[in-house]
Amino acid sequence: MDRHVHIWTCDYFYAEVEQAIETLEEVTLHRFPAECDHPQHDMEPWSRCMAEHPGHTLIIEGGCLAPLRAQLQQQGGQLTDAPLCFELLAGASLLDEPMQQGAHLLTPGMLKVWREKMASWGVNVEKGEPCFGGQSHSLLLLDTGTDDDAESELSAFAEKSGLPAQRLPIGLDLLKAKLAAQIYQLRNSHCHTTIKKQERSLADAAMMVALTAQLTQYTREDAVGEALMQLCSMLCAPHRLTLLLLDEAGRPATTTHQPDTLTDEASQALVEQLQQVQESGAIGEDGFDLVISHQGARLGILRVSGLAFPEQRDRYLNQALQISPVAGLAVANARTLLARERDAQQIAELNQDLTHRLAELNAANEELEAFTYSVSHDLRGPLRAIDGFSAALVKDIGEQLEESPRHYLNRLRAGAVRMGELIDDLLKLSRSTRGELQRQACDLTAIAQEILADCQAKEPQRQAILTVEEGLTAEADPRFLRVVLENLLGNAWKYCGQQSTTEITIHQEGDGFTIQDNGAGFDMAFSERLFQPFQRLHDAKTFEGSGIGLSTVKRIIQRHGGTITAQSEPGKGAQFHFTLS
């Protein structure tokens, strides 16, 4: 009979099957439309194709051809025996858990056409319907490496469907083994003994591939090591296994012996010997060393000794070399997961400590603000008494006093006034952080014009050019917004006092507002002190003030979610820009 085998597969698995059979002779690959959710019922196209391509026919399907299964088999077609096509790529042991958790399996071929297939797959995001009929809760890509764009397409599909996505890297070894087994069965169905032997060999190979893939499912390093040693025991039945895992610095981390019968001295000597092993290779006639690495980093060494069949040593070593990269990846993944868990725990502890410290800080600030408010408020009464009685003394006996005592009384009154202003500023600073914000639409133009008009009324003799842009509005608490403008415009008026003409402008700039003057300005080298309480950049004798106003302004603006910055040069005026959100 013709040895030629015709394999039929859908678009979703075509690339994988194409690579899996590339080394096989007398095998031709064909494709048929992918109709996972719409099983085919028309036998006529299949009858025609099978007649046009004589030889053995192997059809890869997982249910889409169920209505035609009996007819296809009657005409000599053989169908793959996997309940799901995906089980040809990864063993059922890898797929059972994610599928039970509601994962929807995908191949790179499926991701090439997901945009055209969304409706037929039951993904109607615009209609608000649950994806895949509500049966799937996540996406799982079985990444065979056949399409470099698969990972990016997975991300795009996940974003569109709103489902979380994961990527499971797998190889094609299992597919190769299963296809080879079925092709062999097709060609040698007359030789049952040979077939059974080959099936057992292929089953062993498939089992090894599945068990190797399972290594990556373990999340703890000790579990990975135990699984690796069990796999090697099944593979070559050695008398002894020793697994040495190394830390990042190349020092011994853990050592496991099977059987665990070595003395401490013998175990230590073996560990020191294994530390020197840099490459995998045979040792003696009945053993070998397997170096486990990942991305160039040596993670451990597995020593296999006392093989039950020493003549198979090289074959066992070659098989172990196929396992090594997967074992390295599994160990690296377990360590990464452990590091993340430790980092998460540390972050949680730091956050808890930070929350506690913030609570303490907030409590201390609240106590300090309450104390400041209380002291400032309570000082007003005695201060009024000092000012009142000193004023009465000046009125009643001022003309009778000599110049020196009268001067002292005037200084006493001036000090009381100065202290009153300082108390008022402290109260404003305290109020700036107390009470809830009542945001509303504020006419910033009207408030600024009113404040500048008051400044002009107090000094009508001063020549001034005051420019306020029309239509300035802001969403803010009107009480606090007035305090901000009173301080900024008041400062601008004050520091322009020595100019022949005062020039002050306020206008919108970007998403904020800018107040500019032609006053005394300041040195930007000292700008860090500008918004600190009680810090002044000018002599108090030249320009009066408490040094609290700009601190109050900054607190109010920050409470609104905004920022304030300043630019200036000595003698060239100043510019303040602030936002309120």
pLDDT tens by residue, 89-117: 887 778 888 888 888 888 998 889 888 88
Q: Domain-by-domain residue ranges, the chain? A: 5-86+174-193, 90-170, 209-340, 354-430, 436-578
Can you list the residues of the chain whose pLDDT is less than 50?
A: 1, 190-191, 193-195
Q: What's the confidence (pLDDT) of residue 195?
A: 47
Q: In what order do the strands lie in the sheet with 512-517?
A: 464-468, 502-509, 512-517, 574-578, 564-568
pTM over 0.85: no
Q: What is the pLDDT of residue 363?
A: 79
For domain 5-86+174-193, say whether CATH 2.40.160 is its number: no
Outline where DSSP puts E strands in 415-501: 440-443, 464-468, 473-476
Residue 100 in 3-state DSSP?
helix
Q: Burial, 399: exposed, middle or buried (Cβ in 10 Å; 0-12, 13-18, 19+)?
A: exposed
H or E, element range at 253? strand 252-258
Architecture (CATH level 2) of domain 209-340: 2-Layer Sandwich (3.30)
Q: What is the pLDDT of residue 203?
A: 61
CA dist 437 and 176 (Å) reads: 70
Q: What pLDDT score does 334 carry?
A: 87
Q: Which candidate, 477, 558, 571, 491, places its Cα nearest to that of 530? A: 491
Q: Residue 420 burial (CB < 10 Å; 0-12/13-18/19+)?
A: middle
354-430 topology per CATH: Helix Hairpins (1.10.287)
Residue of 36, 61, 39 whose CA lies nearest to 120? 36
CATH number for the 436-578 domain, one of 3.40.50.300, 3.30.565.10, 3.40.50.11260, 3.30.70.2500?
3.30.565.10
